[in-house]
């Protein structure tokens, strides 16, 4: 079908309604343009041989079996595709999630994506992916439901901001690329999720309101009760430029890296559900980005049969309309019927099967892939809805149970936990600790698990007051085999049980600490150093309601600092926190330790004692005041009072200006800026130089080329090389992150950020030494999305490249003029 919208009226309207400067016209977001038919896979990007194998497989399938390959079904894993014994196909096992194989025993719990991003360490991020992949594989999981680039982090309070990497799309894009390549190097498929605009948990799914004002989420099946009104899921209304430069950017990296599948989102985009939005699935993913794999629904995010199939959805999960079974389903027998009556062409179903099976053959999963660990069934919450005796298919669960897949991964977890810890403040030589003889440990985050190793519950942490917060909740959590609590690690490092050791005393009850005389049981009080462990829970299903530390953490810090003038604060958090005590002189050091995973205590002790010199940098901005952040979660219309099915509208009016781009544009001084992080040594950057990597003129638009996974392949051509020299100007060895920012200058349209991250490299340098760091700028990285040309365009005129130690500590700059 031909659609003139692409080049005509639509674009003009959109140009006029530009998010910047003009009033936001919501009517432009009331529909998403139709893009049909769904493009077929051609096995581009090296999948050609696997595609022929998939074709061979397809040719042996009956119509029912083709439908089976694309419709989820109850089974041992988070998601399952049923086996076909006749063809020696044992089915597909899909498992959560981004920081661990969640439905498992004897698996590692890794640092969260946010922690990995805070390390800015490409080598460690890649190694994390390899180890994660090995664990999924060892448990027989063909498909890892990760990594995450949406939620990106538009809103500071987003409940899932920790699952992915950073609100900066460039940093997240690197995290996606490395993780996908790493996981897939182990023969396990990745599912890059959630496309797109999945930026809040609040009203992420449709809900029904009944006449008595009770409500039910529609996620787990048709709601009970009668006479209800369905309020549709929030619509993320995103203009075309913001889509490309912010929310889609890391997914373009994912497709470029060869991600085998992509999960579509719960929310709507421009009023059309993520899993039936043809502009996103057919138009952007499969056509513009040349995605060759399959689009999978989020769990319960499919809201139609024929429409979702034609819009480009290739697999529905968990299969049924609810979580209980695969009947009723919009797909399954309904899809068979839709093929038989001609509403879906069988060629479309064939393409869906090819898209699902090509990655399976490409990664060699048809031979020698480990069997599904039968204990997965016991660890599954889905068996509550669909116990094994109700399963439609006979999964082979005869292999040994409780396989231990942890290997030696703990060393990387410990190292990355430390590398993802950001030293925000360090005065009076507070850190590293110099063998203190009296140590106070405070706060409800310091101790061992009291309420169990598994915070899947979406109860917003209510049950988890007393235990270290090493990960968040929801489908992105992990089931701990063990955790090292900070208190245990400190005791061990301080050698507290020995006559030569330090006196380590502690109070882990925040309520007690806040009582008058709550600290009086510690002698001597104050100790030489007071370590306050604070935590902030975050989970899928809810957005945070505050940026303050959880469980009165700020009051706890202030209370201790009133008498202890060497108070060191550690935050374990699923996102950013306001730190009102940052300027308190008695708070001598602050460490943002994020969600470090199972080696939590060891990771923080390594930093506290200087065994590891901190080198983490903030992957987000910490404001002085919560009101400094823009782009809040949409919660303006109360579910109980609205009767408007379209009441939930998240207008992304801020365009490209999220996180540091907003602070820079609005000229707001943050407490700690994006990219900031201290070390026990100091660094400088010098000798910037920029060289062109191509001879002759560079065109403003990319030369036309056959689309490859990721889009026009020339977008990834390296056009300039930037080098600097990083020197360690302090007394001890350490690592820092040289960060390259680009200011596109006056040739870029209105609404362009002051500067954007376009390169980073972590380097380790000995005192008095220096090392050269090189960055390659690709065409995409020096272009903006031109909404009229529908292409990436290099701005004319002078741009500026800066390299520094944070987004506001720029040490070197050089002009860059292409056109």
Q: Is 298 a catalytic residue?
A: yes
Question: Rounded CA gap, 243 and 155, in Å?
Answer: 16
Pick 111 or 804: Cβ nearer ligand NAG:
804
Question: In the β-sheet with 268-269, what is the strand arrangement from edge to edge?
Answer: 272-273, 268-269, 235-237, 649-651
* Residues binding ligand NAG (CB under 6 A): 14, 28-29, 32-33, 202, 212-213, 239-240, 269-270, 279-280, 305-306, 327-330, 332-334, 337-338, 341, 343, 371, 396, 398-399, 509-512, 514-515, 526, 543, 545, 551-552, 561-563, 565, 584, 586, 625, 627, 633, 635, 638, 640-641, 686-687, 725, 770
Helix or strand holding residue 816 (H, E): strand 809-817
- Which of 298, 326, 373, 664 is catalytic? The answer is 298
Tokens 């787990």, residue located: 220
Query: How far is the C-alpha of 538 from the C-alpha of 301, rounded, in Å?
Result: 22
Phi/psi for 349 (5° steps) reads: -60, -40
Q: How far are the Cα atoms of 6, 572, 600 from residue 452, in angstroms, in the given order?
A: 54, 18, 16
The residue of the chain with the least Cβ separation from ligand NAG equals 328
384: left (phi over 0), alpha (psi -120 to 50) or beta: alpha
Name the token pair of 783: 């272009």
Encode burial over 390-419: b for 16+ CB neighbours within 10 A, e otherwise.
ebbbebebeeeeebebbeebbebbbbbbbb
- Let me know: does 675 contact 805? Beta carbons within 8 Å: yes
Ordered DSSP codes for 337-381? HHHHTTSS-HHHHHHHHHHHHHHHHHTTTTSSPPPPPTHHHHT-S
Task: Calculate the CA dihedral of residues 127, 132, 134, 135 and round it to 10 degrees.
Answer: 150
Nearer to ligand NAG, 678 or 724 (CB): 724
Q: CA torsion 44→46→47→52, rounded to 10°?
A: 100
Judge residue 504's burial from the number of C-beta atoms within 10 Å of its C-beta, 0-12 exposed, 13-18 middle, 19 or more buried.
buried
Q: Which two tokens stand for residue 818?
A: 């292409």
* List of residues 6+ apart from 85 with CB closer than 8 A: 394
Euclidean distance between CA atoms 650 and 281, whole angstroms: 20
List CB contacts of 706: < 8 A, sequence separation 6 or more.
713
Q: With CA atoms as reference, report the closest residue to 38 among 354, 282, 280.
A: 282
> E strand or H helix at 311, and its extent?
helix 306-311
Q: Which residues of 323-350 are buried (b: 16+ CB within 10 A; e: fewer)?
A: bbbbeebbbbebbbebbeeeebeeebbb
Whether the CB-CB separation of 801 and 690 falls below 8 Å is answered with yes
Q: Kindly report the CA angle at 511 between 506 and 515, in degrees rounded to 5?
A: 90
Catalytic residue annotation: 298
């Amino acid at each position: 079908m031909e659609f003139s919208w692409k080049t005509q009226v639509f674009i003009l309207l959109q140009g006029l309604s530009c998010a910047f400067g003009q009033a936001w016209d919501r009517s432009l977001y009331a529909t998403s343009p139709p893009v049909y038919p769904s493009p077929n896979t051609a096995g581009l990007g090296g999948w050609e041989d696997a595609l022929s194998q998939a074709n061979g497989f397809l040719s042996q399938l009956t119509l029912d079996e083709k439908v089976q390959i694309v419709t989820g079904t109850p089974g041992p894993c988070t998601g399952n595709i049923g086996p076909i014994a006749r063809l020696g196909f044992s089915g597909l096992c899909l498992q959560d999630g981004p920081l661990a194989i969640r439905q498992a025993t004897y698996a590692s719990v890794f640092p969260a994506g946010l922690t990995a991003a805070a390390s800015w360490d490409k080598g460690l991020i890649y190694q994390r992916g390899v180890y994660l992949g090995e664990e999924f594989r060892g448990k027989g999981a063909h498909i890892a439901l990760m990594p995450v680039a949406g939620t990106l982090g538009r809103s500071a309070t987003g409940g899932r901001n920790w699952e992915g990497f950073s609100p900066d799309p460039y940093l997240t894009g690197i995290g996606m690329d490395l993780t996908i390549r790493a996981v897939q190097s182990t023969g396990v498929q990745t599912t890059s999720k959630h496309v797109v605009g999945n930026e809040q948990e609040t009203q992420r799914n449709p809900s029904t309101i009944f006449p008595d004002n009770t409500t039910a989420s529609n996620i787990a099946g048709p709601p009970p009760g009668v006479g209800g009104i369905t309020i549709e899921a929030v619509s993320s209304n995103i203009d075309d430029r913001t889509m490309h430069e912010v929310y889609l950017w890391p997914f373009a990296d994912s497709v470029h890296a060869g991600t085998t599948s992509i999960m579509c989102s719960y929310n709507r985009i421009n009023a059309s559900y993520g899993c039936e939005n043809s502009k996103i699935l057919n138009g952007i993913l499969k056509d513009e980005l040349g995605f060759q794999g399959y689009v999978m629904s989020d769990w319960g995010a499919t809201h139609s049969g024929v429409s979702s199939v034609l819009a480009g959805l290739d697999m529905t999960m968990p299969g049924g309309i609810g979580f209980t079974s695969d009947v009723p389903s919009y797909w399954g027998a309904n899809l068979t019927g839709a093929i038989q009556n001609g509403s879906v062409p069988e060629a479309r179903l064939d393409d869906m099967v090819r898209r699902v099976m090509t990655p399976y053959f490409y990664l060699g999963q048809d031979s020698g892939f480990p069997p599904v660990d039968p204990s997965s069934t016991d660890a599954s919450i889905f068996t509550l809805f669909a116990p094994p005796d109700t399963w439609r298919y006979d999964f082979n669960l005869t292999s040994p149970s409780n396989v231990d897949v942890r290997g030696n991964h703990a060393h990387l977890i410990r190292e990355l936990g430390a590398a993802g810890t950001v030293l925000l403040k360090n005065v009076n030589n507070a850190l590293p600790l110099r063998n203190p003889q009296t140590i106070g440990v405070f706060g409800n985050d310091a101790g061992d698990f009291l309420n169990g190793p598994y915070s899947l519950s979406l109860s917003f942490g209510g049950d988890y007051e007393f235990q270290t917060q090493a990960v968040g909740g929801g489908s992105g959590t992990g089931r701990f085999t063990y955790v090292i609590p900070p208190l245990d690690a400190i005791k061990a490092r301080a050698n507290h049980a020995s006559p030569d050791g330090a006196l380590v005393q502690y109070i882990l009850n925040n309520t007690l600490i806040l009582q008058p005389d709550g600290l009086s049981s510690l002698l001597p009080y104050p100790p030489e150093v007071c370590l306050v462990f604070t935590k902030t829970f975050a989970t899928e299903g809810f957005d945070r309601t505050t940026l303050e530390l959880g469980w009165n953490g700020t009051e706890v810090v202030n209370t201790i600092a009133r008498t202890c003038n060497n108070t060191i604060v550690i935050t374990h958090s699923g996102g950013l926190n306001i730190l009102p005590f940052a300027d308190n002189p008695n708070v001598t050091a602050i460490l943002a330790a994020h969600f470090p995973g199972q080696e939590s205590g060891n990771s923080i002790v390594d930093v506290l004692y200087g065994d590891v010199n901190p080198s983490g940098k903030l992957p987000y901005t910490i404001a002085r005041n919560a009101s400094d952040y823009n782009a809040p979660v949409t919660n303006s219309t109360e579910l109980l009072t609205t009767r408007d099915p379209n009441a939930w509208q998240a207008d992304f009016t801020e365009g490209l200006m999220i996180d540091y781009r907003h602070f820079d544009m609005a000229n707001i001084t943050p407490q700690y800026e994006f990219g900031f992080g201290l070390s026990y040594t100091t660094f400088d950057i010098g000798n910037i130089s920029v060289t062109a990597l191509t001879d002759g003129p560079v065109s403003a638009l990319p030369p036309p080329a056959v689309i490859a996974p990721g889009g026009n392949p020339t977008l990834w051509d390296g056009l300039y090389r930037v080098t600097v020299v990083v020197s360690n100007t302090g007394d001890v060895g350490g690592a820092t992150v040289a960060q390259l920012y680009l200011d596109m200058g006056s040739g870029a349209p209105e609404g362009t950020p002051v500067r954007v991250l376009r390169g980073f490299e972590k380097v380790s340098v000995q005192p008095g030494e220096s090392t050269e760091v090189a960055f390659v700028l690709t065409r995409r990285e020096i272009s903006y999305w031109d909404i009229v040309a529908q292409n990436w365009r290099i701005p004319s005129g002078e741009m500026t490249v800066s390299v520094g130690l944070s987004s506001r500590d720029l040490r070197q700059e050089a002009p860059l003029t292409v056109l």
